[in-house]
A and B are shown apart, each in its own frame.
Chain A
């Protein structure tokens, strides 16, 4: 509470300091072991240099600078698009900034959190942290076993001090003080004429637990990145997924996970429901998503039914299955020139909040020519002012497709990989464009067949991931918070009581001196605690009546 600036306080309080402290001069360590920069060696030897480097790295100042570098290094990761979270926007960035993008890419700007320089900052920080916290933990364990330091010679010079004379003899003063402090859960030590008491080691314990937990968080993250996997897959209604590497649209395996060791579950998307806000300011916003599935944890287990919704993943075989996206897959029945019928349900990609969806259907086996359909699916179509159909609502209130049908060479044999969502029309001829409502058919010219818009299914994308380190991370962040609270709420403090016989002036009387010491920057309450203890002591050791008692020091 009260900040006191006296020499004795600064020196003594510094010894009570449990927070990391950096000093330029080598400091004799007390058992609290503050972070220090001791023994600056001017030796030119390699060893001396290394020692200097180690001291510098583990100093508080370096840790602070590394902390700021970490914050600074994270900034570009929030401003630039990142490969990991949004590859599409990275591609857009390349288009928008063709000269700048390759440079940014070269320095890891699109993968900040996986870049070597970001790793360098946090690894240095964690080494610095370990180099400080581990030795400090050892010292703290020693300190907790040590006896409280003996009373300073002059208790009156402490920031909190008082004294009075009493009729109680020295031995009883010591005994009563010892008992009182002991009963208040102080670590207490009695000498022949004095008592030393100490409390609040939990502050440093909390501090160390917090920092050690941070190190364990890093271990958990390392476990996840080595033994975890994450992948995404798009599943259309009535179709299934079984957890094999080949079934994924995209799969990232941890370094120590083999492609054959994925959990053997499978599921079928029976149907997908989405509901939307029909009225009000947020008309069109989604209210709920629900994927109804049938699943098996392994091929021999019985089939079960269940739901995957946002915030409620399916957990099986150590992996979680999350619902992350959805859309429409129009169903076309195409009859080619030879009368062959192709039933195609093709996922189209939503382009915005009204789920106007774009996609492509490729029919490489159609004769006489390969056929391709490119177009839009509009779940709730209305004509805009110019007569062009647009979608005004995400639910399928009035589904319509707007398509162009091409004939020619799809270019699938060129060897260049193609996106399933784009149609290379360079070697194709446009046969017809039209709008179709469900059930309507477009007859193609020149006997090339027909295209019927049968209807649509919905699709959902699932993210499937296993993160074996997350339990470790969760437990350690729990310890982090607990440690943080202790280190910020608990205050370290010491009390001393000394009994001085007054045989010369007043035989039979004893001068009781009480002194208290604490850090000034911790949470308050020490004044109250000191006063409280003094009051309790005075009850046990009543001041001699006629003697005017020395006032408690004011400063």
Chain B
């Protein structure tokens, strides 16, 4: 089947637009974080509570007898004097993120239509899909809890990754080699993309957790912290830790499933469900590290920073698998193409 060149070109233009929108979004989140109208950094318990949503029923109860509201809404802080730009940077950032997300979606769909297949057959397409999941996960988290603060830390790697994809990894759209002609491509690679995208967002939260935790520990000990402004605009480490954990707890089973689906496919395609192909090996290493993170988080003496370092190590192994293994180590996954 031929390649629809027009659609392929459209895809390239859409992704360029997406990158532009995300870059503006990054700028917006940065301005919002730095100068926006923020609640002052709250003590941990109070801050932790910000993500609680009081259900409607409780509101009803509160009206009838006022007894059941588990949380009073946090008192809104007196508005600081901020410029118009600073005050609206956050909303602007979210708006352009959504625009970028739509362009990004369009780029993926048109790329797929141009080659009549799922557009995740090589590193360029995989990067597009992975960053798309990361932004989707970020938007979903924002719908459920105030999470605009994650914006800078999500948009920076997304823009960077898309830039690398367009400048370095780009390959013209083309059909796939026979080994990839399988519906398992849809199952296995989609799961891997979703998991990696959510891991990316979780890693952003963990990075922020480490900064915030460093700040909190140092402040509690009465030490001065460099770049403390960065930490002051973040939520408390407890909130960040919990946000990150939820993302990991979502992504880990998906990753597990991706590895299993890959093994089932390998059984059909290569005759063995597990052959310690370099990519398999690193998927396994990633899995083991994140399993370690989940256990560490429940183990006295490993909670907090140590667990966070383990999670960071897990993401490092994902990056290693994607860049180093794909490009420098040949294996049975090599047909995936640079």
Is the Cβ of B65 less than 8 Å from the Cβ of A549? Answer: yes
Q: How far is it, in angstroms, between the C-alpha of A549 and the C-alpha of B52 when the chains are bound?
A: 23
Cβ of A535 within 8 Å of any chain B Cβ, yes or no, is yes
Please choose the segment from B89-97, B101-109, B132-140, B266-274 that sits at the chain A interface, where 4 or more of its residues have CB less than 8 A away.
B266-274
Interface of A is mostly: mixed
Contact indicator B268/A313 (Cβ below 8 Å): yes
> Is the Cβ of A280 less than 8 Å from the Cβ of B61?
no
Verify A543–B65 contact, CB threshold 8 A. Answer: yes
Known contacts A2-B45, A78-B282: A281-B268 contact under CB 8 Å:
no
B71 touches A22 (CB 8 A): no
Task: Flag whether A176 is at the interface (Cβ < 8 A).
Answer: no
The reply to whether the CB of B242 lies closer than 8 angstroms to some CB of chain A is: yes
Please list 11 pairs of residues, one from A and one from B, whose beta carbons are closer than 8 Å in the complex, sorted by A's number: A2-B48, A67-B288, A312-B268, A313-B268, A322-B271, A467-B272, A481-B257, A521-B297, A531-B68, A532-B58, A538-B65
- Contact check, B297 vs A527: say whether CB atoms are below 8 A apart: no
Chain B residues with Cβ below 8 Å from A481 are: 253, 256-257, 260
| Contact between chains at B45 and A3 (CB < 8 Å) | yes
Contact A71 B269 (CB under 8 A): no
Set of chain A residues within 8 Å of B263, measured between Cβ atoms:
477
A288 interface hit (Cβ, 8 Å): yes
Chain A contact residues, CB within 8 Å of chain B: 1-5, 17, 19-24, 60-61, 63-64, 67-68, 70-71, 74-75, 77-79, 82, 84-85, 112-113, 160, 162, 164, 230, 277, 279-282, 285-289, 309-313, 320, 322, 324, 463, 465, 467, 470, 473-474, 477, 480-481, 484-485, 488-489, 521, 523-524, 527-528, 530-532, 534-535, 538, 542-543, 549-552, 554-555
At the interface, yes or no: B289 with Cβ under 8 Å from chain A? yes
Which residue of A17, A160, A282, A311 is within 8 Å of B298 (Cβ)?
Answer: A17
Separation of A532 and B265 alpha carbons in the complex (Å): 45
Given known pairs A521-B297, A552-B67, the reply for A310 and B271 (CB within 8 Å) is: no
Least Cβ–Cβ distance between B259 and chain A, in angstroms: 9
Q: Is the CB of B249 within 8 A of A164?
A: no
B interface: dominant SS: helix
Cβ–Cβ contact A521 & B298, under 8 A: yes
Q: Do A2 and B175 touch across chains, with their CB atoms under 8 A apart?
A: no
**Contact of A538 with B271 in the complex, beta carbons under 8 Å:** no
**B143 on interface, CB distance cutoff 8 Å:** no
Total contacts A to B, CB within 8 angstroms?
226
Tell whether A113 pairs with B44 under 8 Å between CB atoms, given A64-B302, A484-B256, A538-B61. no
Q: Which one of B14-22, B176-184, B201-209, B223-231 is at the A interface?
A: B176-184
- Mark interface residues in B179-204 (1 if CB within 8 Å of A CB, else 0): 10110100000000000000000000
Query: Cα distance A63–B294 when bound, in Å?
Result: 12
Measured between C-beta atoms, what is the minimum distance from B38 to chain A in Å?
A: 20
Interface residues of B in 231-248 (CB under 8 A from A): 238, 242, 245-246
Name A538's contact: one of B2, B68, B302 (CB within 8 Å). B68
Partner of A523 from B65, B66, B178, B249 at Cβ < 8 Å: B249
Contact A281 to B174, CB < 8 A, known contacts A473-B273, A527-B52, A534-B68: yes
Q: Is B291 an interface residue (CB 8 A)?
A: yes
Residues of B within 8 A of A (CB): 2-3, 44-45, 48-49, 51-55, 57-58, 60-61, 64-72, 171-172, 174-175, 177-179, 181-182, 184, 238, 242, 245-246, 249-250, 252-253, 256-257, 260, 263-265, 267-273, 275-278, 281-282, 284-285, 288-289, 291-292, 294-302, 317, 325, 329, 331-332
Q: Which of B172, B184, B289, B300 has the most CB of A within 10 A?
A: B300
- Alpha-carbon distance between A343 and B295 when the two chains are bound, in angstroms: 66
Q: Is the CB of B67 within 8 A of A527?
A: no
A530 touches B70 (CB 8 A): yes
Closest to A25 in B: B300
A287 touches B288 (CB 8 A): no
A227 to nearest B CB, angstroms? 15
Whether the Cβ atoms of B299 and A60 lie closer than 8 Å is: yes
Take A5-B45, A531-B54, A535-B60 as given contacts and tell me if A74 and B285 are in contact as well, using a CB distance cutoff of 8 Å. yes
Interface centre among B67, B267, B317, B329 (most CB of A within 10 A): B67
- Give the contacting residue for A3; candidates B48, B184, B272, B332; CB below 8 A: B48
Q: Could you tell me if A310 and B45 are in contact, using CB atoms closer than 8 angstroms?
A: no
Q: Which residue of the partner chain, among A1, A85, A524, contacts B277 with CB atoms under 8 Å?
A: A85
Q: Are A285 and B177 in contact (CB under 8 A)?
A: yes
| Set A310, A534, A543: member contacting B181, Cβ < 8 A | A310
Residue of B nearest to A542 (CB): B65
Given contacts A287-B175, A470-B273, contact A78 B298 (CB under 8 A): no
Within 8 Å CB of A289, what residues of B?
178
